[in-house]
Amino acid sequence: MDKIKTILTLIAIILGALAVLAVIGLVYTALGYILILGIVCLGGYIAFRVFSKADDKQLSTPDPKRELEKVQRLLDEYKRK
């Protein structure tokens, strides 16, 4: 009876170790897929930013010549009043 308990205990330890290794493998695989998905998403985001049209913010960068013309027009309006 003592030998059977020992054998069953060893089998339980081996199966437990295999279960732990299987869980570690699943976690490792999931992390690998998340990494690959992150790299693909990063590439898509970069491609979107490169090939998308410019925002209004980018189009309305202050041009010194235009700003000077605006100021001149405002001064002319104030002089007329």
- The Cβ-side half-sphere exposure at 59, using a 13 Å CA radius, reads 4
DSSP 53: P
Burial per residue of 27-60, b for 16 or more beta-carbon CB atoms within 10 angstroms, e otherwise = eeeeeeeeeeeeeeeeeeeeeeeeeeeeeeeeee
Could you report the per-residue pLDDT of 45-73, keeping only the tens digit for each?
Answer: 999 988 887 665 555 667 777 788 888 88
For the chain, the 3-state helix, strand and coil shares in percent, each to the nearest 5, are 90, 0, 10
pLDDT in tens, 5-45: 999 999 999 999 999 999 999 999 999 999 999 999 999 99
